[in-house]
Structure 1
Amino acid sequence: MTATPTPVERPKHSPWLVLSVLCLGFFMILLDTTIVNIAIPDMSTRLDASLDQILWVVNAYVLVYAVLLITAGRLGDLYGPKRLFLVGLVVFTLASAACGFARNPEQLIIARVIQGAGGALLTPQTLSVITMIFPAEKRGAAFGLWGAVAGVATVAGPTLGGYLVTNWGWEYIFFVNLPIGVLAVVMAAIVMPDIKLNRRHKLDWAGTALATTGLFLITYGLIEGQPHDWGKVWGPVTIVEILVAGALLMAAFLLHQYLTRNGEPLVPFAIFADRNYSLMNVVSAAIAFGMLGLFLPLVIYLQSVLGLTALQAGLTTAPMSLISMFVAPVAGRLADRTGGKWVLFVGLSLWSVGMGLVVWLAQVDSGRWHILPGLIVAGFGLGLTFAPLQTIAMRNVEPRMAGAASGFINTARQLGAVIGSAAVGAVLQVQLADQLRERAEANAGALPPQFRGQFVDGFAHAGSGSLEVGAGQSGVPVPPGLPEQARQALTTVAAKTFHEAFTLAMKHSLVVPLSVLAVAALSCLLVTRRRREPGPDPAAERDPVGAAA
């Protein structure tokens, strides 16, 4: 039986007003991500959390978010995107309050898991509704505004988050979601149309279980690999065995999806008939890999090496986000006119070059604005990326598959974020452990002979999970009970060692996400020409939801 979108209630409001509500909820999700990144050093210090725990604060949210997105897209098809959007908003808002009240890393990680579930319920509904209520010739402009929200959030996140962390503490980066969430719930209840499909869907519970378990094992292995020296972690079970088991489960998941393709799989393979959609899933994952992989080490560098406050670090990266915010709507209109292929290629190329310039300019003795040229170039590239990507991906998707297509492309993006954050975090830990030992040996000559061995040994074992990277930290704690003169000497040399080691480790680690972004840019050349679109439908102007049906 053919499934067609049918409006349960006739839309009472302009699709642009509905878009503003969708963007408000999406803004809250992105704001939370960028705020958390800027607060990492403060959380590390005040919660007494190690680097691997902080990585779990970041990745627990992203992992749950990624795993549930496809299921949430299916639930949107079953119960309607409006209901799922509202439920996601409520869950995310309440979980934000729980995050703010957390008093140890474990409580914060649990609250972040719940946040991830709320965000997953919300996000697929945004692209699904945009695809249904806007005619094809106007989706580029709509996706441009949707992409501009990413620019606003990346500006507001580091800047507002930096202000809150500096003046109030890390807890308020989560409390700020409460008024936004309440406003979004009220507006969504009033203006969003209640769109449903006239076919009931069944959830693929076997596929959900396989994907959830497989992704958890892969991410856990990447995060916990270095602290456990890539050896045993659960009794006789090793990190390598966990990673292999996760990969096998994901292979089984894909096979299961293929075998059930004529039924109700979690991932309907019909959406991959469009080459551009399939390609944009890969590009979306690569972009998220690069973004999360680049900004985690950079935030730590700005605060722990350059000594900036959270607010100063946020203002340092603000020019990139501001430029992106103003460029994104223009990119959306260009994508409507040209198809978006070359806009996306230029955007990814500029972003890769800009962030490569940032990495090259970052030095131990750099000032806060030394990396500005790279951030400006990256800002133009970032602004040219989001709108054409979504336009290319969703242009030929049938409205009846909008929920599944939206869920999967968001899942691909978040899987890229999970793997990028975990992989770069693991590489950073390996590189930092090596660089700390080498720099400690090189700098130990500045200390009295009786302290040199202890100093080198302390840094040599810093990669075993006790590494401290909070603002003002020197990598490892200075032993208690030392004479004041010896303590001052050790503190000075330890700080120098940490700054040099982290800067070198960051440069080496960021080669990975930069390479992924470069490959993503080249893959845009494989995008096919867009199909010839029919002229504007007057019915679409009067009733976008009905026209989509």
Structure 2
Amino acid sequence: MSLLVLFVLGFGVFVLYETTISHPIVPVSLLSNRNVLAANVGVALAGFALFLMAQALTYLLESPQPLGYDLSILDAGIMMIPMAVVQMITAPIAGRIITNIGAKKLAVIGSAIAVVGLLMLTYTSFYGLSYVIGSMSVLSAGISMVNVSVINILVFSVGRKNMGLATGLNSVFRNIGGAWGPAVAGSIMSMYQASVIVSLKPLLWITLPAKSSYQLMFMITSALYILAIVVIVTLTQEIFVKGEIRVIEA
């Protein structure tokens, strides 16, 4: 908690300083553009979910039963391949249809699909590997759609002179989300633990994340994506109108 308070204070001082100098490292003023703000919130959540899932699923797949699936490191990695494959397939399709349905609608649909995938993981993560892989694939499709939509919202919502700054700021928010994901996952898994006996002679047990820790992580991430839907709906101005790009420059 003390480190969290220190972060908030330090971040506040940093933002205040960046708004008072002529050439800031992080162009905070761009966040006054509602589309830029919504895009950065969306990409931060995408990074948060991806890196949280990477840590949570590693423990889930490799922990011994009944707290996991007792897979080897190699097998656990193979089980995560479908997530990457789904993203590789979904992203080009999303790029093709975005002009027809609009970036705002695609972002909302992607966030909703991500929520469905997370809820599936919440309630079926211990039903079997097929359920885990299926849920992960649904989540990956949603995250991929969010990524495609928010980057389009971003680049068409700033002028050419600010495009490099805007995409750099977007990378900062992606990294913030990616840094918070594993931290939140590690904290929750440390708080909610259970013991598993691995040997009777001699008696030996180990402490691992409990089932409730995974469910709590997935539910928190679901709530954040619901928040993302609210932010996108309330803040974002559509940039694709009847298949044509409407540039909204900041």
State if a TM-score over 0.5 links the two structures. yes
1:285 alignment counterpart: 44
Q: Please tell me whether the aligned partners of residues 118 and 219 of structure 2 are also in contact (alpha carbons under 8 angstroms).
A: no
Read off the aligned partner of 2:42 and give its amino acid letter. V
How many Å separate the matches in 1 of 2:148 and 2:155? 11
1:7-406 alignment runs, 5 A limit? 240-260=1-21, 263-304=22-63, 305-363=68-126, 366-406=127-167
Match status 1:410 vs 2:176: no
Q: How much has 1:430 moved relative to structure 2?
A: 1.1
Q: Deviations over 1:184-221 (max 9, x none)?
A: xxxxxxxxxxxxxxxxxxxxxxxxxxxxxxxxxxxxxx
How many Å separate the matches in 2 of 1:419 and 1:379? 19
Read off the aligned partner of 1:514 and give its amino acid letter. S
Q: Residue 385 of structure 1: SS of its match in structure 2?
A: helix
How many Å separate the matches in 1 of 2:142 and 2:6? 38
Q: Please tell me whether the aligned partners of residues 397 and 405 of structure 1 are also in contact (alpha carbons under 8 angstroms).
A: yes
**Structure whose CA Rg is larger:** 1
Q: Please tell me whether the aligned partners of residues 301 and 502 of structure 1 are also in contact (alpha carbons under 8 angstroms).
A: no
TM-score normalised by the chain length of structure 1 = 0.40
How many Å separate the matches in 2 of 1:331 and 1:375? 18
Q: Please tell me whether the aligned partners of residues 287 and 416 of structure 1 are also in contact (alpha carbons under 8 angstroms).
A: yes
Match status 1:518 vs 2:226: yes
Q: Please tell me whether the aligned partners of residues 46 and 147 of structure 2 are also in contact (alpha carbons under 8 angstroms).
A: no
How many Å separate the matches in 1 of 2:6 and 2:137? 42
How many Å separate the matches in 2 of 1:400 and 1:361? 48
Q: Please tell me whether the aligned partners of residues 121 and 218 of structure 2 are also in contact (alpha carbons under 8 angstroms).
A: no
Gaps of 5+ in 1: 1-239, 444-473, 479-484, 537-549
State, as a whole percentage, how many aligned pairs show the same letter.
21
Q: Structure with the greater relative contact order (CA < 8 A, sep ≥ 6): 1 or 2? A: 2
CA RMSD of aligned residues (A): 2.6
1:503 alignment counterpart: 211
The verdict on how the C-alpha distance between 1:529 and 1:358 changes in structure 2, with shifts beyond 3 A counting, is same
Q: How much has 1:531 moved relative to structure 2?
A: 7.1
Q: Deviations over 1:99-133 (max 9, x none)?
A: xxxxxxxxxxxxxxxxxxxxxxxxxxxxxxxxxxx
The number of residues matched between the two structures is: 239
Q: How much has 1:269 moved relative to structure 2?
A: 4.2
Q: Deviations over 1:35-77 (max 9, x none)?
A: xxxxxxxxxxxxxxxxxxxxxxxxxxxxxxxxxxxxxxxxxxx
Read off the aligned partner of 1:250 and give its amino acid letter. F
Read off the aligned partner of 1:373 and give its amino acid letter. G
How many Å separate the matches in 2 of 1:425 and 1:367? 23
Read off the aligned partner of 1:397 and give its amino acid letter. V
The verdict on how the C-alpha distance between 1:353 and 1:402 changes in structure 2, with shifts beyond 3 A counting, is same
Q: Residue 370 of structure 1: SS of its match in structure 2?
A: helix
1:486 alignment counterpart: 201
Q: Please tell me whether the aligned partners of residues 103 and 239 of structure 2 are also in contact (alpha carbons under 8 angstroms).
A: no
How many Å separate the matches in 2 of 1:256 and 1:422? 27
Read off the aligned partner of 2:48 and give its amino acid letter. F
